[in-house]
Structure 1
Amino acid sequence: MPKVFLTGANGFLATHILSQLVENGYEVTGTVRTQSKAEDVFVAHPSFKSKVKLVVVPDLSAAGAYDQILKETRFDYIIHTASPVPDGSGKDFDEDFLRPAVQGNLELLNAALTYSKALTHFCFTGSVVSVTDVTKPFSGKALTANDWNEVDPDVARKAQHGGVSYMYAKTLAEKALWKFVEDKTPDFTVSVILSPFIIGPPLQRLDEKAFGKGRTNLSSDVFYDNFLRPGTDGKPLFSAYIDVRDLAILHVRALTEASDKNRRILLANPEPLFAGTVLEILREEYPQLRERLSSVPGAAMVASKEEDTEHPYRIDDSDTRSVFGDKIYRSLRETVIDTANRLLEIE
C-alpha cells in the first residue's frame, strides 16, 4: 500500500485530499497544528480512524519539524498543502506569512531529501497568485504555467495587508522550492499545482452558526457572505475558480500521472465565477431564499461578463489537460448547489 505524507490535513482542501487518498487505498500520515484539530477530523470522519494517522506539528517552519516523522516512515509521496492564509489572525508579513511559507517549504524539502529515500514525487499546493498579481488590472493575455508574479517583499512589508502578504509569501515560497530543486537535484520529482479561488462544499467539521466567528474556512466565509448573507457589499474578486473536489482529485492524480518530470500545473474551471450567474442558480434552486440573497451590485464577485473589465483573467490550462485529460472540471451549477446545501445545513 503506497504511503503518503499530507501536511495541513484538517484544512479545507486537504480534508478533500485526505478523503480521496483514503478512497484510493493510500496509507496516510497527516499533520495538524493541535490535537483538537486532529479530533475534529476524526469526529467529522470516524472511518478515517483506522486508515489515517495524524501527527501534531505546531510550527511548520521550526528546525527539524518533519525530521522524526520522515525518519519513522518510508513515504512514497508527499503532498504539502499547509500554508498561512489571510484569515485575519496574522498581521506581520515576515513572521506570519513569509517565514512559515518559505521556511516551512524548505524544512519539509530538506527532511524529504535527507530521510525519504523511497520518495518518488512531491506535490506542492501553489496558487495562481504566483503567476500574476491578482490585485492589478490585467491586459487580457492568457496566463500560462511559464508566467511569474514578480514580487518585491518590501511592498508587502509596507502594506501589511493579509491578502498582499499571502500573495507575496506564496510566490516566494514557490520560488524557494524551485531553487531547492535546482540546487539539490533530488531523486524525487516535484509538481506545483497553481489553483485559482477554491470553492465547494466543506468536508471539515464546522459548528452551527459559525459564520463570521472564525470557525469556518475562508472559502466558505466568502461564498456565504457574498451570496447567502443578506445585504452584503464587497470588492471585486478574482473571477476564475475551481471546485475543491476537482482540485483534490488532481492532487492525488498528480502523484502518479504528473510524476514523470518537474512541472507547474496551472488550472481553472472554464466557466468564470460571475456573481450574476451564481445568484441566478441560487434563485432557481432556492426560491424560498429569494428575499435574502445578495443583489448583483452588492455581491463581491464580478457581476457579469459585461462588467468583467477590471479582472479579465484568461488561463491557458492546455498543458494541464495534456496530462490529465479534458474531463477534470465539474459544472459551476453543481458546485454552487452543493456548496449552498452544505453551508445552509450549518447556518
Structure 2
Amino acid sequence: MTNKLVVVTGGSGFIASHIIIQLLQQGYSVRTTIRSPKKIDLIKTLLTNGGITDFTNLSFMEADLTSDDNWKAVMAGATYVIHPASPTPTLNFKNEDEMIRPAVDGVLRVLRSAKNAGVKRVVLTSAYGAIFAGHKNRTTPYTEKDWSDLSSKKIHPYQKSKTMSERAAWDFIKNQDSLELATVNPVAVMGPVLASDYSHSNIQIQELLEGKIKAVPNVDSGYVDVRDVASLHLKAMVSPKAKNQRFLATTGETLSMLDVANILREEFPKYANKLPKKTIPNIAVKTAAMGNQQLKMIASLVGEYAETSNKKADTILDWHPRSSRVAIIATAQSMIDLGIVK
C-alpha cells in the first residue's frame, strides 16, 4: 500500500471518477479539483456506485482551469497529477479559438503549478483526436507516432483543440529537468456509467436504445472501456518506461456505428425494434452538416479510415484491455440499470 498523494483534476468527469476509484482501491490519497462544492455529492455517488465505501483518503478543492486561483494549494504535497479535466467545449462556438484557447491555457496552468510544487509526473488525458485528424488516404493503423494535421481543411476545432493542447504540453516539458509527462490518448470511451450525470461519449448508446437514431452515418471508430482507460493512466503514472511517452488507449478493434447497433440488438433483444439497420449516405451527412454546427464533427469523420494499434501500451506497460463489445454492453447495461434509457 502507498500513501502518496495524487491530484486528479475534474473529479466528476467520466474518466476521472474511474481513475479515482482505482487510485483509492490501490491505497493512494487523492485530492480532486471541482469547479463548485455542489459537485461533491455527485462525485461521492459516482464513487459509491463504483464500489468505494471509505472516503478517508479523498479530499476536494475548488479550482478552475480558466483561473490561477488555488492551483498552488491544489498541488501542495502531490507526487503525481492526473489531468483528465478539460474546459467544457461549446459546440455552438462563433470562432474556433473559443474551443482551442481554454484547452491550451488549462493544460499549461496545470503543468506550471505541478512544476512549481515539485510534482514528479503529470499524466495528461489527451485524445485520439490529437492523432488521426486531417490525414489523407491512410492505409496503416494509427499509432502514438502520428499527430493530427493542423493544416488540413478537414480538421474539426475540437480535434484541433486536443492536438494543440497536447502539443503545448510537450513543448512545455522539453525545458523541464524534474517534471515528467505521459499522455493517454483514448478512442471513444465506453464502459459503466456511474450516475445519471454522464459524459457525452455515452449519449450515442442512450440515443440508439431509445430509438432516436433511425439510420447511422458511415463512421468507423475504436471503442475502449473506461476502466481500462483508467488503469492505463495509473500504469503511465508509475512506470519508469512511461516517462515522456504517449499511449493510445484502444483495443485495436474498429467498429462502424452499425456494428455498435448490432451488438446492442444481440445483447438487448427488448430494444431490437428501436435500433437502426441502415446507414445514411456520406453525401447526405455532409450536406446536412453545412448548416448545422452540431453535425460538422460527424461529417468530418464519415468514410474515414480509423484503424488503431495498442501495441505500445501492450508491450511497454503490459496493458490488456477488455474487448470493445464488452465495453459497449457495459455502457448500455449501466444506463438501463440507472433508468437513464427511457
The answer, yes or no, to whether TM exceeds 0.5 is yes
- Point out 4+ residue stretches in structure 1 off by more than 6 angstroms: none
**Change beyond 3 A, Cα 1:34–1:266:** same
Q: After superposition, what is the alpha-carbon deviation per residue over 1:3-60, rounded to whole angstroms, capped at 9, x for unaligned?
A: 1000011101111111111111110000111221222111343535323112122x30
Contact 2:267 2:329 in 1 (8 A): yes
Partners in 2 of 1:60 and 1:329 — Cα distance?
A: 30
Task: Verify the 8 A CA contact 1:80 1:125 in the aligned structure 2.
Answer: yes
Distance, in Å, in 2 between the alignment partners of 1:268 and 1:133 is 16
Question: Which residue does the alignment assign to 1:191?
Answer: 182
**Aligned residues of 2:11 and 2:32 also touching (Cα < 8 A):** yes
Aligned-partner residue type, residue 126 of structure 1: S
Q: d(CA) in 1 for partners of 2:111 and 2:166? A: 12
Give the structure 1 partner of residue 150 of structure 2.
151
Whether 2:306 is the aligned partner of 1:313: answer yes
Pairwise mapping of residues 98-247 of structure 1 onto structure 2 (< 5 A)? 98-115=100-117, 117=118, 119-133=119-133, 138-152=137-151, 164-183=156-175, 185-203=176-194, 205-206=195-196, 216-247=198-229
Output the aligned Cα RMSD: 2.7
* Aligned match of 1:211: none
Alignment-mate amino acid for residue 175 of structure 1: R
The correspondence of residues 50-69 of structure 1 with structure 2, limited to 5 A, is 50-57=56-63, 59-69=64-74
| Structure 2 residue matching 1:21: 3-state secondary structure | helix
Q: Report deviation, 1:316.
A: 3.0
Are 1:121 and 1:189, in contact at CA under 8 Å, matched by a contact in 2?
yes
> Structure 1 counterpart of 2:304, which letter?
H
1:104: Cα distance to partner? 0.8
- Counterpart in 2 of 1:322? 315
Task: Report how far residue 276 of structure 1 moved.
Answer: 3.8
TM-score (norm 1): 0.82
Tell me the equivalent position of 1:274: 256
> Which ranges in structure 2 are unaligned for 5 or more consecutive residues?
283-300
Q: In 2, are the aligned partners of 1:191 and 1:258 still within 8 Å (CA)? A: no
CA distance in 2, matches of 1:289, 1:101: 38
* CA displacement at 1:190 relative to structure 2: 0.8
CA distance in 2, matches of 1:285, 1:149: 35
Do the aligned residues in 2 keep the contact of 1:278 with 1:336 (CA within 8 Å)? yes
Residues 35 and 145 (structure 1 numbering): CA distance in 2 closer, same or farther, change over 3 Å? same
* Contact 2:218/2:302, CA 8 A, preserved across alignment: no
Aligned pair in 2 of structure 1 residues 14, 225: CA closer, same or farther (>3 Å)?
Answer: same
Structure 1 residues 39 and 180 mapped into 2: Cα distance closer, same or farther (>3 Å)?
Answer: same
Given that 2:29 and 2:57 are in contact with CA atoms closer than 8 Å, whether structure 1 keeps it comes out as: yes
Counterparts of 2:206 and 2:198 in 1: how far apart (Å)? 10
Sequence identity (%): 26
Equivalent position SS for 1:50: coil
Question: Is 1:191–1:259's contact at 8 Å kept on the other side of the alignment?
Answer: no
The corresponding residue for 1:283 is: 265
Q: Is the 8 A contact 1:239 1:311 kept in 2?
A: no
**Displacement after TM superposition at 1:141 (Å):** 2.4
Amino acid at match of 1:129: G
Distance 1:27 1:291, change over 3 A: same
CA contact (8 A) 1:138 1:310 kept: no
Task: Please list every run of 5 or more consecutive structure 1 residues that lacks an aligned counterpart in the other structure.
Answer: 157-162, 207-214, 301-307
**Matched residue count:** 315
Partner of 1:264, secondary structure, is strand
Match in the other structure for 1:210: none
Q: Aligned pair in 2 of structure 1 residues 93, 322: CA closer, same or farther (>3 Å)?
A: same
